[in-house]
């Protein structure tokens, strides 16, 4: 697992987020797919587990979330999509920084590193 500071460095290069979101995709369909029970429940249970163990975010995690939101919004002009991506990266950063191994969170990171929006 990498640290939150390393995630910040990766996403700050300007190309990481662009690889994921500079596609001709139906982002509404992508977001709808995430509302299906299996994905939504896995996301929520991962979030709840991390919040119970570490309820606060540090400055680096907040910067990651802000950077992802701004870059995603700049590319897609969708505040909803930018919010989802920001939340994903907040979850990833918190799990990785605290060295908490959650398969679902690892899969989120894998999707992003492969240039895909997780669904």
pLDDT tens digits along 32-44: 999 999 999 999 9
Domain assignment present for 97: yes
Percent of the chain whose pLDDT exceeds 70: 100
Is residue 119 included in any domain, yes or no? no
Any domain includes 20: no
Q: What is the pTM of this model?
A: 0.95
Q: How confident is the model at residue 14 (pLDDT cuts 50, 70, 90)?
A: confident
Give the CA-trace dihedral at 62, 65, 80, 112, to 10 degrees: -160
Q: Is residue 22 part of a domain?
A: no
Number of domains in the chain: 1
Q: Which domain holds residue 94?
A: 4-15+28-113
User: Which tops the pLDDT comparison, 23 or 86?
Assistant: 86
User: What pLDDT score does 1 carry?
Assistant: 80
Q: Interhelix angle for 4-11 vs 79-97, to 10°?
A: 140
Closest residue by Cα to residue 85 from 100, 70, 101: 70
| E strand or H helix that includes residue 46 | helix 37-53
Q: Is 23 within the bounds of a domain?
A: no
């Amino acid at each position: 697992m990498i640290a939150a500071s390393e995630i910040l460095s990766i996403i700050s290069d300007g190309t990481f987020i662009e690889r994921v979101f500079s596609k001709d995709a139906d982002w509404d369909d992508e977001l709808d797919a995430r509302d299906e029970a299996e994905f939504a429940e896995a996301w929520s249970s991962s979030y709840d587990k991390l919040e119970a163990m570490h309820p606060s975010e540090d400055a680096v995690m907040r910067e990651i979330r802000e950077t992802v939101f701004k870059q995603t919004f700049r590319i897609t002009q969708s505040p909803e999509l930018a919010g989802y991506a920001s939340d994903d990266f907040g979850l990833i950063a918190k799990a990785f920084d605290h060295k908490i191994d959650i398969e679902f969170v690892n899969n989120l990171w894998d999707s992003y590193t492969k240039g895909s929006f997780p669904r």
